[in-house]
Copies of this chain bind each other. A is one copy, B any other.
C-alpha cells in the first residue's frame, strides 16, 4: 500500500474518514467506531450554540467560514452570554484577526480596543473559571466526584490519580472526563470542575487578573494544548469547522505576534449566531455519555489497527477529540 495513505489513516478528520468496512476481519479503529454509532447517539448542536464567523475571502477568492460551538452550562456562562450579546449586536463585523502566534493562538476582535461594547455586556472581573459540580445535575458525574475515585471502569470518566488502571493521571487535574460533549477537568476533592484548553478551543483574551476579559477579544488554540491556561482563562467554545482558516494564517511579526501593519490583519466580515441565520450550518456531536464514545476513547488509547505495533495504553484528553460532523439538513 502507498505509504502516504497509511500515515494518512491516522490523520483523516472523522467526517472525511473512509466508511468502516463491513468485514469482521477489519480492525476496530476510532473511525470505524464512530461510523458504526447509532443515529440516536448523535446530538444536534442548537443553533444558538453556534457562532458562524465569515472571514474575508483568501487571496485566491476562496470563502473562509469558521464555525464555533459555544460552551454549555454550567461552564463559563457569563462569558458565553457576552459572546452571544456581541454576536447579536454584530459587534465583530468589521473587526479582524490581528494576532497569530505559531503553536499558540490566533486572536481576533477589535485591535484598536476603542470600540464600545454593547449595552448589557456583563461585568466579569474576578469571576471564577471553575464551576461547582453540584450545578451539573448529572447523577453519574456526581457519583464519581463524590466517591473515593476507586474502582472506576467507565472510560468516559477517567484519568484518576493513582487508582484507576487506565487511563492514567493527567498533569493538569486530578480527573478528566467528558460532560455533554466537552472535555472537563476536576480536582480531587470534587470542589470544582472546569473546561480544558485543547487544540481549536476558543478562549477569552484578558489583561492581568483579576480582569477576566469580556469575550470581545477571543482566541483559538492553533498548537499543542496550552493546559497551563486552564483555570486562568475562560474557555467559551471550540472551532468545529474551518479551524484551518485560522491555523494557516501568516504568523505575526510584531510584539507578541500581533501583526505589525493593520493591512496584514484578516478582516472579519461577520459573526452571527446560528439562530440568526436562515441557512445556518447544522452540526451534531457524538454523545459522550453513550457506549460508542466509551469504545472510541478506549480505541484511541489502544490503537490496534494495522499501522500500530505498540498501543499506548493511555491517551491525553486532548488527543480524544469529540467527534463532530455536519448534520443532514
CB-based contact B247/A250 at 8 Å: no
Contact across chains for B307 and A8 when beta carbons are under 8 A apart: no
Task: Please give, as numbers and ranges, the residues of chain B lying within 8 Å of A308 by CB-CB distance.
Answer: 209, 228, 232
Q: Mark A91-123, 1 if CB is under 8 A from B, else 0.
A: 000000011011111010001010000000000
Say whether A206 contacts B171, CB under 8 Å.
no
Contact of A162 with B by CB under 8 A: yes
**Residue A215 interfacial (CB < 8 Å):** no
Chain A 287-315: CB-based contact to B (< 8 A → 1; otherwise 0): 00000000000001101001111101111
Contacts of A224 in B (CB 8 A): 198-199, 223-225, 316, 318-319
- Chain A 252-278 per-residue mask, 1 if CB under 8 angstroms from chain B, else 0: 000111100000000000000000000
Q: A319 — which chain B residues lie within 8 A by C-beta?
A: 224-228
Q: Which of A205-233 contact B (CB under 8 A)?
A: 205-211, 213, 217, 219, 222-233
Cα of A206 to Cα of B300 in the assembled complex, Å: 20
A32 → B minimal CB distance (Å): 16
Q: Mark A1-37, 1 if CB is under 8 A from B, else 0.
A: 1111111111111000000000000000000000000
Residues of B within 8 A of A81 (CB): none
Residue A150 at the chain B interface, CB threshold 8 Å: no
Across the interface, which residues of B come within 8 angstroms of A211, CB to CB?
3
User: If A168-B161, A309-B209, A316-B171 touch, does A107 touch B4 (CB 8 Å cutoff)?
Assistant: yes
Provide the bound-state CA to CA distance between A256 and B5, in Å: 6
- Answer whether A231 and B310 are a contact pair too, CB < 8 Å, given A6-B206, A248-B251, A256-B11: yes
Whether B256 and A219, one on each chain, are in contact in the complex, defined by CB atoms closer than 8 angstroms, is no
Verify A8–B258 contact, CB threshold 8 A: yes
- Say whether A170 faces chain B, with CB atoms less than 8 Å apart: yes
Most buried by B among A105, A229, A230: A229
Contact A171 B315, beta carbon cutoff 8 Å: yes
Please name all residues of chain B whose beta carbon is closer than 8 Å to the beta carbon of A4 when the two chains form the complex: 98-99, 107, 111, 205, 217, 256, 258
Q: In the complex the two chains form, what is the Cα distance from A229 to B13 in whole Å?
A: 17
Within 8 A of B (CB), among A177-204: 198-200
Q: Are B11 and A257 in contact (CB under 8 A)?
A: yes
The answer to whether A167 has its CB under 8 Å from any CB of chain B is: yes
**A243 at interface (Cβ–Cβ under 8 A)?**
yes
Interface residue? A59 (CB, 8 A) = yes
Q: How far is the CA of A161 from the CA of B3 in the complex (A)?
A: 36
Determine if B306 and A8 form an interchain contact, defined as CB atoms under 8 angstroms apart: no
Complex: A5 Cα to B209 Cα, angstroms: 13
Q: Report which A residues bind B (CB closer than 8 A).
A: 1-13, 59, 98-99, 101-105, 107, 111, 113, 129, 159, 161-162, 167-172, 198-200, 205-211, 213, 217, 219, 222-233, 243-244, 247-251, 255-258, 300-301, 303, 306-310, 312-316, 318-319
Pairs across A and B, CB under 8 Å, 19 listed = A3-B205, A4-B98, A4-B107, A8-B256, A10-B228, A103-B199, A161-B168, A171-B301, A171-B316, A210-B309, A224-B224, A224-B225, A224-B318, A227-B316, A227-B319, A232-B310, A247-B248, A248-B248, A248-B249
